[in-house]
Amino acid sequence: MSNAPHILVVDDEPQILRAIRTILTEKQFRVTTASRGEEALTLAATNEPDLIILDLGLPDMDGVEVCTRLREWTQIPIIILSVRDSERDKVAALDMGADDYLTKPFGIEELLARVRVALRHSVNRKGEPSKMVSAGPLTIDLAWHIVKRGEEEIKLTGIEYKLLAYLAANHGRVLTHQSILSHVWGPEDADHTEYLRVYMRQLRKKLEEDPERPQYILTEPGIGYRFIADE
């Protein structure tokens, strides 16, 4: 057995499976494929992969349901693969515990970046999470609650800091509106996206060099936000 991460790819399109398998194998991953939901659930239980790439449109069951059933017993990172215009489904899968999503058609660089982020977070989940996150000139000390640009400290309000800390601790991953709102404001405010919009704007003004064209806090349209840290 090699130590290369093992990835389970679930998609009902043979061409997509072929392409992803070729590329991931090339990148030294071990790859197993499944084309149906039930098959995926069985393979996930028997092979214990390190990561699952899951298409939402499966012939026998909804990808969101596969995600829910996986989350009943495992925290394996799941990356959702779906066609455009299914924001609702993507959000549902993310809120059901999926780690990230990719929209078809996707670039391979994007896929590999998502895979790396998801694998890293899964390692972090097992061990100690990182205490320092840096992005360009920004450093965020999650232990001491200090945010700096270069040497200069940036003053944040309580909510702004909570917001940034949550994003930074999950850097590279997409966080849905609902998960951010319930984490920062509490579950009772999970529908108030306008809070998020307003505070995110303030936060960007304090952090981004050009708040009109943010580089660190990215908006995922219709889904949520993603913090981009240095690799």
Partner 1 sequence: MWNSSFVSRFGYLLAFLLIAVITALFSLLRGALDTTLVALLYLIPLGLITARWGLGPGIMSALLTFLAFNYFFIEPHYTFTVHRPADIVILVVFLIVAVVISQLVAQAQAGLAAARAREREATQLYELSTALAGLPNDRDIAQILAKQVHAVAEGEYVELNITGIRALNIRIPDGHPPTRGPELIVPIEAARGILGEIRLWRAEPAISPSEKRLYQTFASQGALALERAWLVQAESRARVLEESDQLKSAILSSVSHELRTPLSTIKAAASSLRGKEVSWDSPARAELVAAIDDEADHLNLLVGNLLDMSRIESGALKPRREWNILPEIVGSVLGRMKHLTVEHKLKIDIPESLPLIPVDYVQMEQVFTNLVSNSLKYAPANTTVSISAQMEEDTIYVQVSNQGPQVPPEHLERIFDKFYRVTAADRVTGTGLGLSICKGIIEAHGGRIWAENLTDGLAFNFTLPLTWDGAKPPQLPMEPENE
In the DSSP assignment, the letter for residue 57 is: B
Interface pick for partner 1 out of 59, 107, 150, 186 (rule CB under 8 A): 107
Interface pick for partner 1 out of 14, 129, 137, 222 (rule CB under 8 A): 222
Contacts with partner 1: how many residues (CB under 8 A)?
27
Do residues 104 and 84 touch, judged by C-beta distance below 8 A?
Answer: yes
Query: Which region, judged by CB under 8 A, interacts with partner 1, from 1-9, 59-67, 113-121, 158-166?
Result: 158-166
> Got the DSSP string for 105-170?
S--HHHHHHHHHHHHHHHHHHHSPPPSEEEETTEEEETTTTEEEETTEEPP--HHHHHHHHHHHHT
Phi then psi dihedrals of residue 99, to 5 deg: -90, -35
Rounded Cα distance between 57 and 178, Å, is: 23
**Shortest separation between residue 201's beta carbon and partner 1, angstroms:** 5
**Shortest separation between residue 87's beta carbon and partner 1, angstroms:** 6
Quick one: 72 or 194, whose CB is closer to partner 1? 194
Of 83, 68, 70, 67, the residue nearest 16 (C-alpha)? 83
Contact code string over 159-188 relative to partner 1, x by CB under 8 A: xx----------------------------
153 contacts partner 1 (rule: CB under 8 A): no
Contact code string over 109-148 relative to partner 1, x by CB under 8 A: ----------------------------------------
Q: CA-CA-CA-CA torsion for 156, 221, 121, 138, nearest 10 degrees?
A: -30
Q: How far is CA 76 from the centre of its chain?
A: 13
193 contacts partner 1 (rule: CB under 8 A): yes
User: In this structure, what token pair is assigned to residue 7?
Assistant: 């990835």
214 contacts partner 1 (rule: CB under 8 A): yes
Helix (H) or strand (E) holding 207: helix 193-207
Query: Which region, judged by CB under 8 A, interacts with partner 1, from 38-46, 54-62, 110-118, 206-214?
Result: 206-214
Binding positions for partner 1, rule: CB under 8 A: 84-85, 87, 105, 107, 155, 157-160, 193-195, 197-198, 200-201, 204, 211-215, 218-219, 221-222
